[in-house]
Amino acid sequence: MKPIRGEAIKTITTHYIDGSFVESHGREVMDIIKPTNGQVIARVTLADEEDTRRAIAAAKSAFASFGRSPKEERTKILRRLHEAASARIDDLTSAMVEEYGGVVQFAGLIVQSGINAFLAAEQALQELPLTRNWGKTTVTLEPVGVAGLITAWNANTLFICLKLASAVAAGCTVVIKPSELSSLQTRVLVEALHEANLPKGLLNVVTGLGTVVGAELVRNPDVAKISFTGSVGVGETIMRDGAKTMKRVTLELGGKSPTILLDDAALDQAIPSALVMAFLNSGQACAAGTRLLVPKSRFDAVTRGIRDAMRNFAVGDPADPKTAIGPAVSQKQYERVQSYIRKGIEEGAEVLVGGEGHPEGFEAGYFVKPTVFVNVKNDMAIAQEEIFGPVLCVIAYDTEDEAIRIANDSKYGLHAAVLGTDLQRARVAWPRKYGPGAS
């Protein structure tokens, strides 16, 4: 990959350990590629096991005092974190747009939600009694210790803020292993949080590979808890390997979420809603509603409606507020989406909108055509596997019972939606399935 001519390449060679930016012990360097044009925009030196152990040691040492901090101290820290992150809201949004091609509307919402997490945690802390008494018995809520926080790339800022806010409210110190695909966003966020003047060692951030930094966090006996957001496969590894040191493990994993459109749905509202859920974050969202279940009686009207409504899902420069769909995050993800589109066609599904290749005018970078398949059977790979791109499968059903059965016929159970005009009916049609990583 070549750098953009005339544009400086950023370099990041440090990690955030014990309150300072320190040079990486790890020597491996990774290129950060801009997904809109495939050019190198940054080089990041990745942490190794030694960097990770230093960060864990700093967090362990800080826990000795922070673990005994009163509510008032944690509350003040959460306020400072909120202020510090708020000061860089525009920079945080721009970094998301640049680094992974997140569309600016979505990126702005994600950043704001992340920043709000500090105030939400502060409120929860105020409302939650940390000590309760029953007769002579006193029950106190104690922090578990050092928390290892591992994030996915697709809303990295949000995940860091959510996990950090909860950990601080609980009195835990943290080592964060952000997605290596989010190194620039993480740097902006950590620079911002550094200004919150935290007790040294409370917050440590080491950017590196999951199999190196993440694996060390999972096996290290000085880490008491892992909070992970990412794929099912990595979640399985973490649960298995964490068992050796009896880690408390929280997993937020993937999805193939159903949206059931009932036959009383108002299509002018239901179709745009279904498409927004499907193409959220350019289809790169865990909760994306990527299976749309449609009654056979309204199938033709729905497919016509989808074709019309797709005109509002413009592919384009993610920095343009009119853009609904940006590029895939990487070449690998671009190819993954293409391979699923091919597979869908081979399996006999019909392309209603989109298809293989780049959208016209967006041949550079990792742009894919937002694609809607109709005549999809739920046992096809495109209906069972998480694609993590803008690909929607439309599946026909005869009865509501059948719709619920199809919705639940999935190894996932993260999210679901029912669209209709009668609330009681919609509640009855709720799929009620909870699969891996449901949160």
Active site residues: 252, 286
Structure-block tokens of residue 196:
């919150």
CB of 208 to ligand NAD, least distance (A): 8
Amino acid letter, residue 52: T
Residue 254 or 295: which CB sits closer to ligand NAD?
A: 254
Residue 233: which residues within 8 A CB-CB, separation 6 or more?
none
Tell me: does residue 92 bind ligand NAD (CB under 6 A): no
Are the C-beta atoms of 95 and 184 separated by less than 8 Å? yes
Alpha helices (H) along 87-196: 89-100, 104-127, 156-170, 183-194
Residue 216 or 400: which CB sits closer to ligand NAD?
A: 216
Among 180, 186, 291, 419, binds ligand NAD (CB under 6 A): 180
Among 93, 179, 183, 207, binds ligand NAD (CB under 6 A): 179
CA-CA distance, 39 to 362, in Å (whole number)? 15
The footprint of ligand NAD on residues 199-258 (CB under 6 A) is 209-211, 214-215, 218, 229-231, 234, 237-238, 252-255
The footprint of ligand NAD on residues 413-432 (CB under 6 A) is 414
Phi/psi for 272 (5° steps) reads -60, -40
The footprint of ligand NAD on residues 260-319 (CB under 6 A) is 286
C-alpha torsion angle, residues 151, 154, 157, 160 (rounded to 10)? -20
Are the C-beta atoms of 394 and 306 separated by less than 8 Å? yes
Tell me: does residue 326 bind ligand NAD (CB under 6 A): no
Residue span binding ligand NAD (CB under 6 A) among the ranges 8-16, 93-101, 177-185, 403-411: 177-185
CA-CA distance, 334 to 411, in Å (whole number)? 24
Binding mask 94-113 for ligand NAD (x = CB under 6 A): --------------------
Q: Measured over all CA atoms, what is the biggest interatomic distance in the chain, rounded to whole angstroms?
A: 73
Residue 255 or 318: which CB sits closer to ligand NAD?
A: 255
Tell me: does residue 154 bind ligand NAD (CB under 6 A): yes
Residue 235 or 316: which CB sits closer to ligand NAD?
A: 235
CB of 261 to ligand NAD, least distance (A): 23
Residue of closest CB approach to ligand NAD: 210
CA-CA distance, 136 to 17, in Å (whole number)? 43
What is the DSSP pairing of strand 203-205 with strand 173-177? Answer: parallel
CA-CA distance, 127 to 340, in Å (whole number)? 47
The footprint of ligand NAD on residues 368-407 (CB under 6 A) is 386, 388
Q: What residues make contact with ligand NAD under the rule CB under 6 A? A: 150-155, 177, 179-180, 209-211, 214-215, 218, 229-231, 234, 237-238, 252-255, 286, 386, 388, 414, 437, 439
